[in-house]
């Protein structure tokens, strides 16, 4: 289990915990801000416009993150309050993954500056690389068209015939398969590595 990393690689363990909690918190806040912009004040009424990670993730998610390396978050929204339900659902659903993409790009940009100007002594390049990798992975994972992921809500608005799948066991079954197949997680992480290394101009992860 992931908790074993606390014994073998404690610094790596806490880096992942910090980055994931930070990234999921901002991911959920992006959903909330987008919902507010579309006329839905539910995030504000429920007290979810906060930087408190416990509000967004819950204690169970944080505990599961420490034990298994897997976490989730939630942002209550009411699509019926969106000015345009279709467009609003697309914008609100895509806001979280796009926030992770923006964070990934930001961390890559900082890494690029540190590498190009030999300033790696100022910050931990290992931490920045890991932060970029995790956020790009979250971006790619959350855009999968599988309920209850954000990607499903986006694609089901574009392709309405997908909507009935939301009320079936398809999502649970698909998610179980994704976590059972280790190559899946490795593949998404590999794509993130490829993007980062292509930008940095490195052939292998030296971080």
Which are the catalytic amino acids? 28
Scan for tokens 């979280």, then name that residue.
96
Question: What is the DSSP secondary structure assignment for residue 38, as one 8-state letter?
Answer: T
70: its two tokens: 């897997």
Q: How deeply is 159 buried, as exposed, middle or buried, from its count of CB atoms within 10 A (0-12, 13-18, 19+)? A: exposed
Terminal-residue alpha carbon distance, the chain:
23
Q: Which long-range contacts (CB under 8 A, 24 or more apart) does 70-73 make?
A: 70/2, 70/179, 71/20, 71/21, 71/24, 72/24, 73/24, 73/25, 73/27, 73/28
Check: CB of residue 51 under 8 Å from CB of residue 73: no
**C-alpha dist (Å) from residue 50 to 43, 60, 123:** 9, 18, 28
121: its two tokens: 């002594």
């Amino acid at each position: 289990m992931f908790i074993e990393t606390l014994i073998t690689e404690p610094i790596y363990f806490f880096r992942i915990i910090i980055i994931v909690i930070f990234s999921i918190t901002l991911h959920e806040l992006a959903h909330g801000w987008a919902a507010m912009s579309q006329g839905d004040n539910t995030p504000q009424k429920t007290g979810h416009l906060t930087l408190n990670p416990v509000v967004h993730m819950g204690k169970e998610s944080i505990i599961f993150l420490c034990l298994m390396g897997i976490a989730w978050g939630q942002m209550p929204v009411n699509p019926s309050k969106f000015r345009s339900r279709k467009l609003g659902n697309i914008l609100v659903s895509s806001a979280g993954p796009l926030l992770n993409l923006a964070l990934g790009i930001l961390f890559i940009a900082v890494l690029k500056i540190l590498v190009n100007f030999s300033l790696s002594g100022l910050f931990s390049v290992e931490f920045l690389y890991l932060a970029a990798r995790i956020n790009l992975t979250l971006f790619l994972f959350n855009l999968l068209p599988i309920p209850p992921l954000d990607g499903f809500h986006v694609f089901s608005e574009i392709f309405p015939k997908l909507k009935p799948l939301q009320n079936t066991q398809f999502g649970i079954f698909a998610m179980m398969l994704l976590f059972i197949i280790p190559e899946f997680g490795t593949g998404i992480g590999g794509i993130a590595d490829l993007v980062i290394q292509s930008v940095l101009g490195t052939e292998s992860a030296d971080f």
